[in-house]
């Protein structure tokens, strides 16, 4: 018969694998997910980061030269510029996440410690519920992003972008190349470059989906911990769940300790995501605007396949910024609930000394936990609406300028 400790250890390992699996797959493939490895293998992530940055640069530099020196059509320039901007922003986010790897590891250790300390079945169910929310958000966002990328890279570009110049067929690349580099049309160089561009595309979509998945993972975990604190506050007077702490001041001390731990965890999460959210917030306005413009142009030209692809990219980017704003809203709402619950319980049945202990909890909860874009804009559903409105305003300006 397995002991209670063995059962707890088995349950813990199973839950940890389930919670981190998706994020490990996405971010681990590009060297961002921190893994504790000893020996020479602990330097593998450095090699992966260097290779990824070289791949980004390999796609960015020739494409930028093509826009500056070769392309004269303003509409095509805008389309390629949107692709180039998306790649550049992904590279910046990748570098930020690479720098923040130690803090990401710290957040992961926070989460592992919380899962290890779970004792009540109800608490575990709450944590699993929020882990499922994180997993579903990550799956939906990654599915949109990877599906749009596969269609564009493996169907649209190779089969629909070929054109002829001086009776010569020019084989297309995902990222256009500066015309002085003639050798890129020669086999097998063309195939090697195309594969490198596909690798760059995979990294772009992995960084975008992985950053949103990471934010969802940490924020929903904090929400789960807050809900557990709320349930303990609701049970504070009766103490039915806390038989091991029969004294009221011990139960209050445990609640305060857990509340402080969540606040500290949220501070580290904010440090990890602050710059990523800022870059995502600023870039999404421009990128969504360019995608809207591309959809309008393809609609006018009756280019249905390209329209469908750009529309899928548009939905993917909108959903990614929505994830960040949604979890920011959820975190603010949940953290504010602690103070509200403190006031709504039968605190008047407690002794005056114990009642006064709740004042500090209410004071801390009056400043809810927030996710911000660089400390300048709080992420909320209102922010998401502002992003869409701003992108439409820029679209109107762009159409007036170009047409």
**Taking the domains of the chain in order of start, what are their residue ranges?**
17-402
CA separation (Å) from 298 to 47, 217, 279, 292? 41, 37, 28, 10
Q: What is the mean pLDDT of residues 213-219?
A: 92
- The confidence score (pLDDT) of residue 218 equals 93
Cα gap 177→4, rounded to integer Å: 62
pLDDT(233) > 90: no
- The confidence score (pLDDT) of residue 108 equals 92
Determine the distance from the C-alpha atom of residue 103 to the mean position of all C-alpha atoms in its chain, rounded to a whole number: 15
Q: What is the pLDDT of residues 97-143, one digit of tens each?
A: 999 998 999 999 999 998 988 888 888 898 999 999 999 989 988 88
CB atoms within 10 A of CB 254: 15
167: left (phi over 0), alpha (psi -120 to 50) or beta: left
Q: What is the pLDDT of residues 303-318, one digit of tens each?
A: 777 788 788 888 888 8
Cα gap 204→87, rounded to integer Å: 6
Q: What is the pLDDT of residues 280-311, one digit of tens each?
A: 888 888 888 888 888 888 888 887 777 887 88
- The confidence score (pLDDT) of residue 29 equals 86
Q: What is the pLDDT of residues 17-75, one digit of tens each?
A: 889 999 999 998 888 888 755 555 567 778 888 888 898 888 888 888 888 888 788 88
pLDDT(207) > 80: yes
- The confidence score (pLDDT) of residue 94 equals 92
Cα gap 163→157, rounded to integer Å: 11
- What contacts 104, CB < 8 A, 6 or more positions away? 32, 33, 34, 97, 214, 272
**pTM value?**
0.89
CB atoms within 10 A of CB 207: 27
- The confidence score (pLDDT) of residue 130 equals 92
Rg (CA), the chain: 25
Per-residue burial over 132-169, b if 16 or more Cβ lie within 10 Å, else e, is ebbbebbebbbebbbebbebbbeebbeeeeeeeeeeee
In the chain, the percentage of residues whose pLDDT exceeds 90 is 13
- The confidence score (pLDDT) of residue 238 equals 72
- The confidence score (pLDDT) of residue 132 equals 92
- The confidence score (pLDDT) of residue 12 equals 86
Q: Please list the residues that pair with 165 across neighbouring strands.
A: 168
pLDDT(165) > 90: no
């Amino acid at each position: 018969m397995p002991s209670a400790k063995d059962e707890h250890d088995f349950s813990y390992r199973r839950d940890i694998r389930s919670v981190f699996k998706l994020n490990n797959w996405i971010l681990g493939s590009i060297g961002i997910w921190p893994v504790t490895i000893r020996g020479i293998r602990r330097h593998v992530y450095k090699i992966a980061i260097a290779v990824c940055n070289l791949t980004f640069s390999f796609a960015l530099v020739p494409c930028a030269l093509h826009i500056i020196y070769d392309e004269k059509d303003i509409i095509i320039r805008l389309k390629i510029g949107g692709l180039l901007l998306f790649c550049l922003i992904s590279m910046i986010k990748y570098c930020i996440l690479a720098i923040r790897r130690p803090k990401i590891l710290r957040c992961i250790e926070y989460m592992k410690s919380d899962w290890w300390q779970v004792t009540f079945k109800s608490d575990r169910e709450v944590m699993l519920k929020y882990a499922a929310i994180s997993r579903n958000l990550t799956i939906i966002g990654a599915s949109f992003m990877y599906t749009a990328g596969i269609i564009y890279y493996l169907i649209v570009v190779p089969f629909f972008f070929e054109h002829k110049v001086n009776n010569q067929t020019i084989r297309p690349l995902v990222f256009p190349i500066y015309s002085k580099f003639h050798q890129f049309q020669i086999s097998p160089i063309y195939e090697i470059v195309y594969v490198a561009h596909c690798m760059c595309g995979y990294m772009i979509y992995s960084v975008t989906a992985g950053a949103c998945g990471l934010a969802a993972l940490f924020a929903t975990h904090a929400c789960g911990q807050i809900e557990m604190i709320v349930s303990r506050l609701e049970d504070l007077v009766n103490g039915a769940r806390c038989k091991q702490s029969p004294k009221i001041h011990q139960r209050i001390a445990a609640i305060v300790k857990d509340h402080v731990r969540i606040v500290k965890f949220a501070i580290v999460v904010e440090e990890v995501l602050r710059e990523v959210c800022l870059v995502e917030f600023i870039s999404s306005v421009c990128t969504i605007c360019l995608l809207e413009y591309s959809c309008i142009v393809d609609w006018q030209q009756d280019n249905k396949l390209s329209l469908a692809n750009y529309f899928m990219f548009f939905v993917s980017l909108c959903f990614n910024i929505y994830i960040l704003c949604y979890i920011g809203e959820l975190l603010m709402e949940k953290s504010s609930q602690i103070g509200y619950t403190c006031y709504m319980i039968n605190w008047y049945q407690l002794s005056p000394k114990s009642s006064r202990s709740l004042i500090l909890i209410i004071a801390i909860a009056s400043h809810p936990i927030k996710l911000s874009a660089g400390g300048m804009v709080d992420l909320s559903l209102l922010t998401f609406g502002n992003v869409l409105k701003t992108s439409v305003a820029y679209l109107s300006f762009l159409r007036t300028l170009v047409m």
